[in-house]
Structure 1
């Protein structure tokens, strides 16, 4: 099955694209960065105070604090240091809290906006794009990939900023104290950073493989949960479990391979840190013994070396988050980059909508496949009921898809009230149509909620009228709670015929100018079929109806029947005329009444 376009290679463009995409959050981001900087400064100060305290104990009234404050008593100097330390700790705690609120709130806002944007774009993409793609893959992008990005924004970005600040602030302290120790302590840093970037670039294909594996696994699980009745009917539980095992194992192996390589980097970083720390400890200690470095300052530098280098052990973890977030962002942006080929028009139909339908010289197909319809001309005058019949694969449902503009024709035009549907807004086109699909979809919820999908805010009387028109009163009455009764996920608590009758009620509740029925009575018994036929005749009075049917008895009373074969209109007329003509329709009718 086709997947999303390949993520862009090269520089970290996905993250830069997010920066451009969400400009409205830049002020909040800058504020978070400033507060985080205050937090890091407050975090560094206690080490300086430790060195000052050592300096007070060793040098007494000659200490730096004594010269700064003019206080000779060691006890008073230490008290002053304690007060400053308390203030610094309060500032650090408060700034850490505010910084966390800002960064995490920012992550949640971007995550929310991106998830909604990705979902909204996905639902507006053409049906054929979704039909050619596993639904679980889209779900993984909208949900799991967005969650990976949240971890980057929530944890990774603050960690990267704090690490950079740490290096800069500690570097200033070292530069003031000793250029020699600055060089020795900082020597491992460029090596660690360069090696980390190169190493993580090598890991990038592994992270992309992980994202692809989780998308495939989500697709398998989603499809299986949706097809549980079929799985159970064919006792395929073990086989499907094995498929899930295979997909999950692929995901596990992709993660294990990634972890194996990413985990190997930390020990290498520790070796570089050991070299820098040892150099500061040894060379700094010798400088104190030689009298060229104060013992208090030496204490500060030893602590600072630890603070400088030890966070670099987390570079691999942070870059791991970055690469996962980058891979996920690339997939999300790739989804958002998929073009909507069947886009909305701008024209609005004059009201009231008459409901005249026409296909004029239509040639149509799916993707790069062969033509399904060839040079089709069909006219359904307003207020009439017409039917489309023919063998399987003749192109009947394709006609309905064109009328709803799920697809556009390759040649020719589809018109509603003499206006090309490509010019119409969705509200004007689909808002004028009541549609009952062959494969009925009901949402988890009550009967009323499913019916109100057609007309939000409809009254109970209107719901009851639509139910009665669709011959579905007995269906509702048998449910605990009636209109408030639950139908279950995809309506699985109802039979196929019950779902079709509720779908018909939903379509009728819309009071459409055009009624499109795709095998609307295929899953009902003969008695219910007769009731629905009567209801459809009554509901079709004053509106246009186009009915697709295999069961020809349902369309005997149609004003005109169009017979499709191999994508062409081969006959049209009333039932009696077509039977008398002895053509394709007469053959189909003979088979259905047992004479062929």
Structure 2
């Protein structure tokens, strides 16, 4: 489907506003061309006096035949026309710009909301910067078109119809000659427009490449500086920007040719009216006033068509951008949010994995995994990198769906549960926890807007965060910076744990939560966990075996399978892979 049709289908909720805006554009153009008619009428009054068309056909009923009175009438009418044109100009600007803002706002929110519902597998093949380009710049392109381009298209069509009607009413023969270039102008515009479409699609893709590269480099600026690769990355940006420049240049070369072509058509139409209309007037076949009207109307009709080049350019840019935005909105959501609602407060978080299998591409990560986690127990998963520990948690959170088997939560398959209810039952602390660019208090209460200051303070105490928060300039009101960059890694992890504690979920998951912190922070987090894990199901993924010694059960994974299970003491007594790993980490022989 053409992107314009798709856009109109998307904007169905604004049909009433679109109709009103279109009406204002038409009325504005009607009043806009009337001054030319009044100029012709004034010339006719001055030349013919009481024998003018106005005196003999319009004002005769009210007894106005005097030349001066006719001019006064035209002056008053001119004021009404200009006020009408200005009023509808105000209304159309108000309506079209309001529509542009509303549709842009709704499309951005709908698209972002849709993106949030996509499974993580989708983002593995996407670049964040490219998505940012769609959500920001592409949707802004649509706003620019709706702000002015839609009105210009409507007014070009209306002026063509209105002026043509006047022409044929005054002099049909001249109308055919003067308006003959119009179809050629429109055909040429559409011809260029069709060839511009793929070029602007290429421009939008190139813009996405630039945005992706910039986003990647800004996020990795510390690494770039550490490796002294500023020149290398500047060259990469220059390469991406050069691609954008060249794509734009190819589009500009074509779009720049539209205006000269249109001007040639305008020249032909205006010259025909000027010369042939003058010849008819000299020979008495056309009144002087009518000749004046036609000359001015030809200019009023044809010269605005030079803006078709600008409109066509704006239109194709916006349609290419709209296609990308609506294409993103069409991306299927493969993990359904809907499902059976259940009261989070009554959840026990008893888990069972039945024959669960999962693979990234062709590489198996979990194979026929069977596991039961009783409610209220702390269960740990250890093993080498790539053994499937984090994948197990991601399946439980439904970031991905199992390709074989199923996972049960309190005896019910998680695929049948409402996704938001399921995730409200889970407190998740990852290795690299996300912090917003807000205050300490806002980050602890993330997702818990109703939390009181006392509850936030207690969560900070339980996560052993109070000491470092007290040293900050504004305490709980201190802003942490983008992604928490003003804090150390250990401080960020303590806030992430405080956030999970405040949520008070029946299921707590720690995915390598202490792997990137110092020994002191690890010990503090471990003390907090010993407190907060009481009475709730807790899953701990760790490389450091010292952090999981107190777990009710420890599972060792290798190549997506559980190869050993038991308590710390039982596993050491078995003398297997776990015991060997323990000796390696502790230095015991």
Same fold (TM over 0.5): yes
Could you tell me how far apart the structure 1 residues matched to 2:363 and 2:157 are?
58
2:220 alignment counterpart: 227
Could you tell me how far apart the structure 1 residues matched to 2:226 and 2:471 are?
26
Could you tell me how far apart the structure 2 residues matched to 1:527 and 1:138 are?
39
* 2:359 paired with 1:361: no
Is the CA contact 1:200–1:320 (under 8 Å) kept in the aligned structure 2?
A: yes
Post-superposition CA distance 1:97-116 (Å, at most 9, x none)? 11110111111111111111
* 2:277 paired with 1:287: no
Is the CA contact 2:337–2:420 (under 8 Å) kept in the aligned structure 1?
A: no
SS of residue in 2 equivalent to 1:569: strand
Is the CA contact 1:217–1:244 (under 8 Å) kept in the aligned structure 2?
A: yes
SS of residue in 2 equivalent to 1:22: helix
2:30 alignment counterpart: 41
Question: Which one of 419, 425, 429 corresponds to residue 422 of structure 2?
Answer: 429
Post-superposition CA distance 1:103-160 (Å, at most 9, x none)? 1111111111111111111111111212321111111111111110011111111000
Deviation at 1:341, TM superposition (A): 0.6
Question: Which one of 328, 331, 338 corresponds to residue 324 of structure 2?
Answer: 331
Could you tell me how far apart the structure 1 residues matched to 2:128 and 2:311 are?
31
Question: Which one of 54, 60, 65 corresponds to residue 49 of structure 2?
Answer: 60
Could you tell me how far apart the structure 1 residues matched to 2:74 and 2:184 are?
37
* 2:109 paired with 1:120: no
1:552-571 alignment, distance < 5 Å: 552-571=545-564
Post-superposition CA distance 1:219-255 (Å, at most 9, x none)? 1111111112212221222222211111112111111
Q: Which runs of 4+ in 1 moved over 3 A?
A: none
- TM-score (normalised: structure 1): 0.96
* 2:360 paired with 1:370: no
SS of residue in 1 equivalent to 2:286: coil
Is the CA contact 1:500–1:523 (under 8 Å) kept in the aligned structure 2?
A: no
Post-superposition CA distance 1:529-567 (Å, at most 9, x none)? 222212101111100101000000000111100000011
Stretch of structure 1 that moved more, 58-67 or 349-358: 349-358
> How many residue pairs were aligned?
584
1:395-414 alignment, distance < 5 Å: 395-414=388-407
1:4 alignment counterpart: none
1:259-298 alignment, distance < 5 Å: 259-298=252-291
Deviation at 1:414, TM superposition (A): 0.9
* 2:207 paired with 1:217: no
Could you tell me how far apart the structure 1 residues matched to 2:17 and 2:278 are?
45
Could you tell me how far apart the structure 2 residues matched to 1:154 and 1:380 are?
58
Could you tell me how far apart the structure 1 residues matched to 2:468 and 2:564 are?
38
Could you tell me how far apart the structure 1 residues matched to 2:519 and 2:41 are?
95
Is the CA contact 1:438–1:518 (under 8 Å) kept in the aligned structure 2?
A: yes
1:134 alignment counterpart: 127
1:3 alignment counterpart: none
Could you tell me how far apart the structure 2 residues matched to 1:369 and 1:141 are?
30
Could you tell me how far apart the structure 2 residues matched to 1:77 and 1:433 are?
83
2:442 alignment counterpart: 449
SS of residue in 1 equivalent to 2:346: coil
Is the CA contact 1:454–1:507 (under 8 Å) kept in the aligned structure 2?
A: no
1:415 alignment counterpart: 408
Could you tell me how far apart the structure 2 residues matched to 1:528 and 1:176 are?
89
Is the CA contact 1:344–1:422 (under 8 Å) kept in the aligned structure 2?
A: no
Could you tell me how far apart the structure 2 residues matched to 1:60 and 1:443 are?
78
Deviation at 1:484, TM superposition (A): 1.0
- TM-score (normalised: structure 2): 0.97
Could you tell me how far apart the structure 1 residues matched to 2:207 and 2:523 are?
49
Could you tell me how far apart the structure 2 residues matched to 1:541 and 1:253 are?
62
Could you tell me how far apart the structure 2 residues matched to 1:381 and 1:87 are?
83
SS of residue in 2 equivalent to 1:455: coil
1:352 alignment counterpart: 346
Post-superposition CA distance 1:6-47 (Å, at most 9, x none)? xx6xxxx22112212222211111111112211111111111
Could you tell me how far apart the structure 2 residues matched to 1:395 and 1:315 are?
59
Deviation at 1:523, TM superposition (A): 2.2
SS of residue in 1 equivalent to 2:385: coil
* 2:91 paired with 1:111: no
* 2:55 paired with 1:69: no
Q: Which runs of 5+ in 1 are unaligned?
A: 1-7
Deviation at 1:281, TM superposition (A): 0.9
Post-superposition CA distance 1:319-349 (Å, at most 9, x none)? 1111111111111110011011111242133
Deviation at 1:510, TM superposition (A): 0.4
Post-superposition CA distance 1:234-293 (Å, at most 9, x none)? 122222221111111211111122111110121111111111111111111111111111
